[in-house]
Structure formats: C-alpha cells, structure tokens
Structure 1
Amino acid sequence: MPEDGEPEYALASITSDFAHYWNYHDRYVKLYRDFSAIDEDGKTIKKEAFLRKLTSGKFLPLLIHTENSGGSYKLVKIPAHIAKDGCAVIAANAKTELRYFKMEGKPIPAFNFKDINGVEYSSANTKGKIVLFKCWFIGCSTCVKEMPELNKMVEKYNNRKDILFVSLAIDDKKPLQEFLTKTKFEYATVPGQDKYMTEKLKVAAYPTHFLINKNGILVKTVNTETAISEVLEQLAVQ
C-alpha cells in the first residue's frame, strides 16, 4: 500500500495509452472534491491554481495517497506518447471544472420556473430548501440512463420536504410530457430552459447537476449520480 505522498497508481501503467489514462481519470479523478493540490515541483498550491495549470494541456492530475477525505492530486507532465490524444481532452475537462469551481460559494443565478404540472419554483420560494438542478434533454442518452438511479435518490429523501429535485430540460413541454409517459422520472421537470442553462449556468455538457444550499448558494456542480449522492449526503446533515 502506498505511503502518504506516494502515487496511488504507477504513472507508466495509467498512461500506457490514452484509453488507459481516461479509464483512470473517469474512475479516480474527482476534481469537484475539496482535494489537496500539489504542483509539478511538489509544492502545495490552491485548488484554483491547480485547475488553471491543468487548463494549459501540459499536465495531468496524478492521484496521491493521503488521509484527506477529498483526496490529493499532483500535477504531472503529460507523456509525449499520449499528448496528441490527451492534451485537448484533459484541458477541456479542466476548463469546465475551473468554471464551476469559480461559481461555488456564490448565489445561483436568479430563477423563476414553472414545471410541466404548473408548479412554480423560484429563487424566493425555494429559500430554506436544498435544491438540485439536473440539466438535460431528451436526446441525451446519458441523461436518460441515469434516471433510475436518480429516482432511487428521490425515494431515499422522500420524507425530507426541505430537499427539492428539479430538472431543467432543453425540450418543450409537449415532447417532455410524451417522454415522461414512457420513462419514469421523479424530478419536477421544467421545459424550455436552454437559455437559462447556457447563459446563466454556463452548461456546456449534459447531464450537469447543480447542488444548491438552503441559502441559495451553489455548493457543487457535478456530472454523475455517484457524485450527486456524495455531495447531497453532506448537505442533508448540515
């Protein structure tokens, strides 16, 4: 077992080719967490500085063994043999993470929605409640695939009237109604929110999930149901 400060995985094994690297990245790189950040020289730096360096396309985040619950990552130069495939992908991912990190701790952009059943959700009437936004559209296969797990999450917190699950869809009301007659989805669903998602929330990929605390402050932005569950568990006990 690695000691503190040592890599969890050998760099050579996870960068034998880009497919191996991305499998590692997808499973173990959780940049939404409050991790310990280490630069390429082994010095501790702030998370924002770490993400900015990643956006250069010159580095990858290597998971380092630590007792910190958020994990620890060190910047490592991208090996030349995967640079052609990897630089742009790693940089683009980091740019998204940096954009959302800079939104954390700030009020979620003002909203006033009406779902397909006529129920209103606004910045005012959701104060005092934890709010989850799922951003999606019908043609997004990943968005649809995660719905059964999201339904389980809604059921888990069914007795918590202070937690609201709201989905913001690109699609109009009628196609959403037709879709929801065939696919079970327990979130409240708001139609026609392309402009709010792209202009206000800066969503660039789907699905994207925003977790907002009882004061209307954005806590985290994530893109998997596992990450949602992790962050929501922390929020639910505060």
Structure 2
Amino acid sequence: MRPFLLASALGLLTLTATAQRASINRKTVFTDVDGRVLSKDEYKAKLRTGQFKVYNPQAEGKSFVSLSLQPADTPDAVRLKALTPLRAFNTAAPSFTATDLQGRTLTLETLRGKVVVLNFWFVNCPYCLEEMPNLKRVVTSYQPQDSVVFLSFALDKPERLKKFLEQRGDFGFAVVPEAKSFAQQFAIAGYPTTIVLNKQGQYIYDQEYTDNTVRLEEAIRRGLQP
C-alpha cells in the first residue's frame, strides 16, 4: 500500500509509528493549545496560519482518537531544518532526467540558474489534492516569467493522471508520471512533500503539506536572490 501519512496532511514532522498509519474519522477529537475542543475545519484553519503544528496525536488501530496543537517552529527554525538529513539544506540535490506528460524532458543540469519547486504526490492522496489550489496560486504569481520552474512527481500511471487532470484541471506544475523511482531518489517518506532548490540545485526548503504557502513563497524569494 502506498505510504500516506497524516504528517503529510497536517504538516507534522514526526509521529509515532502507530500514528503514521492512522487516519482521521468522524470520532477524532481536535483540541486547541489550551485544550478547547475544535471542529475539524477550525483545527485545519489554525494549522494553515503557520502558527501551530500537530501535537500529541493519539491513535487506536488505524484511527486517530485525538489531535492537539502546539506553537509551530519559528520561520527561522523551518528555514534551517530539512525533514531528513538526506536533504540537508545547502547540499546538492541528486541529478535527474524526467519526462513529463507533455513529452518534455527535464534535467536538473538544464535547470541550473532557476529556482526549482518539486512536489511529490499521487491521485488518491486527499491532502495532495487539498493543497493544489494554493500551489496553483503560487505558480500563477510567477507566470509568465521562467525564473521559477514548478515540477511534480506523481506515483500514478500516465493514463490515470491525464484523466484526473482533465476532470479536475491542472495545478500549474509539470507532471512526471510513474515517479516512484524519483521519490526514492529524493528519499520521500510522506505525501505530499514539496522541496525548493536554489539556482545551484541545492535544497533550501523541505516540507510536507504546503497548504499554508507563506514559507514556501519565502523560500522561493530567497532562492531568487543573487
């Protein structure tokens, strides 16, 4: 079964092994930093501010019993800490050659001199889909200039992706199908994950679930600096 982490969904960096396999249901209780019970939408809205992160996830079997909040890391902390040492900031990303659904071939070498935003996702990942409108807004803000390249790696087959994109509409990223090998190459553990590479092809941003795009946009601006 494809890995799908609540960490991906809610921006949490670490969960217990049990919690990583769990999911939200109608019985899940959401609480604020002071213990006040929240609705699911209120909980997610607070996460989207970037001021909070998931705290103390309690799971039974494959379901979350409760999820709380605690203050999020500061932007400086996020800026300095990758999700895994394999993607340590200011180190070089692995070289790749990928062909997207339009038949275009992209390599990291030919993208030198541009900021590259990479998104890893799959069709049956609801939180991948949930973040797409905000990701498209970011893409749109950099068009028509070509100083930033938006490239996504999807696990699904080309036919399924084309049908999905025809029905839902694209989210601005070029889409590489059947990208499991690229996900392994980049040591992706949770979906969706978004990475930003600077003009030298080095990691400068690494987060799961980017429905709050404030820090993503800040990373892109940093990457564009001379």
Alignment TM-score, normalising by the size of structure 2: 0.64
1:110 to 1:18, Cα distance in 2 relative to 1, 3 A: farther
Q: Does the Cα contact within 8 Å between 2:51 and 2:72 map onto a contact in 1? A: yes
* 1:14 match: 33
Match of 1:231 among 215, 219, 225: 219
1:216 Cα deviation from its structure 2 partner: 0.7
Match of 1:174 among 151, 159, 165: 159
The 3-state SS of whatever aligns with 1:159 is coil
Larger of the two Rg values belongs to structure: 1
User: CA–CA distance in 1 between the matches of 2:152 and 2:169?
Assistant: 13
Matched, 1:130 2:115: yes
* 1:4 match: none
User: CA–CA distance in 1 between the matches of 2:151 and 2:83?
Assistant: 24
The two structures, once aligned, show a CA RMSD in angstroms of 3.3
* 2:23 match: none
* 1:28 match: 51
Q: Does the Cα contact within 8 Å between 1:100 and 1:221 map onto a contact in 2? A: no
Q: Which amino acid aligns with 2:51?
A: Y
Q: Higher helix share goes to which structure?
A: 1
Matched, 1:218 2:206: no
1:102 to 1:177, Cα distance in 2 relative to 1, 3 A: closer
* 1:196 match: 182
Match of 1:113 among 98, 118, 123: 98
How many residues align structurally? 169
Match of 2:76 among 58, 70, 73: 70
Q: Does the Cα contact within 8 Å between 1:63 and 1:71 map onto a contact in 2? A: no
Structure 1, residues 95-138: CA drift from partner, whole Å, max 9, x if none? x9551585211111111000011111112111111110010000
Percent identity between the aligned chains? 24
Alignment TM-score, normalising by the size of structure 1: 0.61
Structure number with greater CO (CA < 8 Å, separation at least 6) is 2
1:141 Cα deviation from its structure 2 partner: 1.0
Q: Does the Cα contact within 8 Å between 1:140 and 1:206 map onto a contact in 2? A: yes
User: CA–CA distance in 1 between the matches of 2:72 and 2:165?
Assistant: 40
* 2:61 match: none
Q: Which amino acid aligns with 1:224?
A: T
Q: Does the Cα contact within 8 Å between 2:154 and 2:179 map onto a contact in 1? A: yes
Gaps of 5+ in 1: 1-12, 31-59, 73-95
Structure 1, residues 173-198: CA drift from partner, whole Å, max 9, x if none? 1111111111222211000111221x
1:127 to 1:180, Cα distance in 2 relative to 1, 3 A: same
